[in-house]
Amino acid sequence: MAYYNNMKLSQDRSRNVLKYVLEIRDLQDKEWIKKYLTANGLSSSKLIFDLDGNQNKEESRRVEFRVVTKSEKLIDKIKKLIEEFDKEGEMN
């Protein structure tokens, strides 16, 4: 249950940051942001640890932004094709 609650907090954080970004930009930028920018909360799934191996809770609370490009879409298409071939046994 703690994992689920942390993920919810993390995703809420990412939505709030993205909302803030959308509120400070003009309309032209908003359309670009909506089309190409994603935000993901990472604290529970990708923790940051200090040198002693303890979780650094402050640094683990973060948001990752990604710009979606056409190359990523092409890579996704290639991955799907490879998966289809693997299911059919043609690439083993």
**pTM for the complete prediction?**
0.57
pLDDT digits over 14-50, tens only? 888 888 888 886 666 788 888 888 888 876 778 899 9
Q: Which residue has the higher pLDDT, 26 or 85?
A: 85
CA 45, CA 51: separation in Å to the nearest integer? 19
Region of 45 (left: φ > 0; alpha: ψ -120 to 50; beta: rest) is alpha
- Average model confidence (pLDDT) for the chain? 82
Please tell me the predicted confidence (pLDDT) of residue 63. 83
Domain segments of the chain as ranges: 2-88
